[in-house]
A = this chain, B = another copy of it.
Amino acid sequence: MLNTEKTEERKKKILTSIVKTYIETASPVASKMLVSKYRLDFSPATVRNIMAELEDMGYLQHLHTSSGRIPTDKGYRHYVDTIMETQQLTPSEKKKILMKLINAQWEEMENLLESALNVVSNYTNQMSVLVYYRARNIYVEKIDLIYINKLRILFIIVADSGDVVHLFIEDENLPKIDELSKLLNFVNSELKGEALNDIKNKIKKNLISSHNPFYHVFSNLLILLIEALENIEEKAFLYQGTNKITKCPEFNNVSVLHNIIDMLEKEVELVKMLESDFKGSDISIHIGRENPYQCAHNCCIISAQYKLKGRVLGTIGVLGPTRLPYGRTVSVVKYVSEILGQALESALF
């Protein structure tokens, strides 16, 4: 019994060392190297035996007969799930991040998001990516309306997140200014706190059935407004630090680089991968072939949702090689996502 325990201990130690070493060096790890690096009290031959076992179990792989071992996706997965200890940020790092996000002035939502991307990229030394669910997170705080000329007015919707949406409405039969201000009072009292989707539905429904005179008087305008609302982009996808990923030794190959650049340009698959698998957990890690799309089969995506009042506003994370410093990366992504939520919370209302 004691013997198998000892063996398990060793296996774990070897796997951990191989994963860590490979993450550092990006080149296959040899038995002899491990022994000398970690001053192991058993010989390279023993290490080789253990390595062979770990390979049988699917945690390691061989590129060819005489190469050292590298972790498989399953190996990384096991490391992440059961071995890795999250590497906390230092208080000074946390403070710096706080400064950059909480105290920052941001005129537009996008400025704040870019600061966050910047922090993630610099503190993980990986490419950072972000999806922001704009449309679904517009909860009306205030609506205003600017009369521009006889043919054109501008609607402005301030969301509780601090996001500001503006919509030009063009029509030949616009109501007069004083009528418009009645409308404005009405929609402000009627729509405050509601989500964009609910607003659309409510207006549509009331246009058909409501006895409230407003809906009849302004039906033309309201229809145009709904159209404009439909045009708001669902999602925004942002990224920073492309050169971090393109300079990884594992991507040091033209066709692999093309693949990555295509993935970034197409957006769709990458966005889907960023969004998926947050059941329960607040962080999502996709390693290599765990990713549903082929374009990311040699990448790792680590992402966390950031929230405001319990609503998911978006997802921020990194795109890197499977060989990435998981402990550190996870802490940074997690921390920034929390702070991003706080920044939004504290910034406005």
A: number of interface residues (CB 8 Å): 38
In the complex, are the beta carbons of B146 and A142 less than 8 A apart? yes
Please pick, from B105, B108, B168, B254, the residue contacting A252 in the complex, using a CB distance under 8 A. Answer: B254
Q: What 0/1 readout, one digit per residue, does chain A (230-256) give for beta carbons within 8 Å of chain B?
A: 011000000001110011000011100
A322 to chain B, nearest CB (A): 20
Please pick, from B146, B152, B231, the residue contacting A105 in the complex, using a CB distance under 8 A. Answer: B231
Query: CB of A149 within 8 A of chain B?
Result: yes
In the complex, are the beta carbons of A265 and B252 less than 8 A apart? no
Query: CB of A172 within 8 A of chain B?
Result: no
Chain B residue numbers with a CB within 8 Å of A42 are none
Query: CB of A158 within 8 A of chain B?
Result: yes
Q: What 0/1 readout, one digit per residue, does chain A (145-180) give for beta carbons within 8 Å of chain B?
A: 010110010101010001011111000000000000
**25 A-B interface contacts by CB (under 8 A):** A105-B228, A107-B165, A107-B166, A107-B167, A107-B228, A108-B166, A141-B148, A144-B146, A144-B156, A146-B156, A146-B158, A154-B158, A154-B164, A164-B166, A241-B265, A242-B261, A242-B264, A242-B265, A243-B258, A243-B261, A243-B262, A246-B258, A246-B261, A254-B254, A261-B261
A230 to chain B, nearest CB (A): 10
A28 to chain B, nearest CB (A): 21
Q: In this complex, what residue of B is CB-closest to A241?
A: B265
Bound: A66/B286 CA distance, A: 51
A60 to chain B, nearest CB (A): 28
Query: CB of A348 within 8 A of chain B?
Result: yes
A301 to chain B, nearest CB (A): 20
Chain B residue numbers with a CB within 8 Å of A142 are 146, 148, 154
In the complex, are the beta carbons of B243 and A168 less than 8 A apart? no
Chain B residue numbers with a CB within 8 Å of A168 are 107, 162
Chain B residue numbers with a CB within 8 Å of A38 are none
In the complex, are the beta carbons of B152 and A348 less than 8 A apart? yes
Q: In this complex, what residue of B is CB-closest to A148?
A: B142
In the complex, are the beta carbons of B243 and A265 less than 8 A apart? yes
Bound: A164/B149 CA distance, A: 15
Bound: A105/B148 CA distance, A: 17
Chain B residue numbers with a CB within 8 Å of A252 are 254
